A = this chain, B = another copy of it.
Amino acid sequence: MSDPAYPPTQSPPNVQRCTPTLPGFTCGLDATLRVIAGKWKPLILYFLAQDGPSRYGELRRAMRDVSDKMLIQQLKELEADGLVKRTDYKEVPPRVDYSLTPLGHSLGEALVPLCTWGTEHMAEVTRVFAERATWARRERRPTV
């Protein structure tokens, strides 16, 4: 064990910076990520946090490019997870609105910095995506 040629990379002391020893989560961030996993969940939470209670159709139109199937599905999961509350007014043309539970609201708040970051670094993000698109075009050739 003396004179290790490979710098030992001692991870044991160096690792597990955030909250260790949890059910199956690496850390708090890991836990959060599993809750908001899903293409539209963060957006839903954020919109509901900003706009207050919202009807299904409102959300639908607010989020460009979401399909009914996806929006419903994600809303249902968020509801099952206790982040979103669904209110069905049982009216005859259906009327339903969605709002955040306290838990969901706190998560929505935690998303604010991400939104801010995206807004502030929009230029870089846009450039990055332009480059990704270029690469993709080149790599699509051989497969087809």
Contact = CB atoms under 8 A, between A and B. Distances in A.
Contacts of A17: 47, 50-51
Contacts of A125: 25, 31-32, 34-35
Contacts of A61: 11, 15
Number of chain copies forming the complex: 2
Interface extent on A, as a size class? 35 or more
A116 interface: yes
Contacts of A95: 7
A121 B55 CA distance: 27
A70 interface: no
Nearest to A35: B125
Contacts of A32: 114-115, 117-118, 125
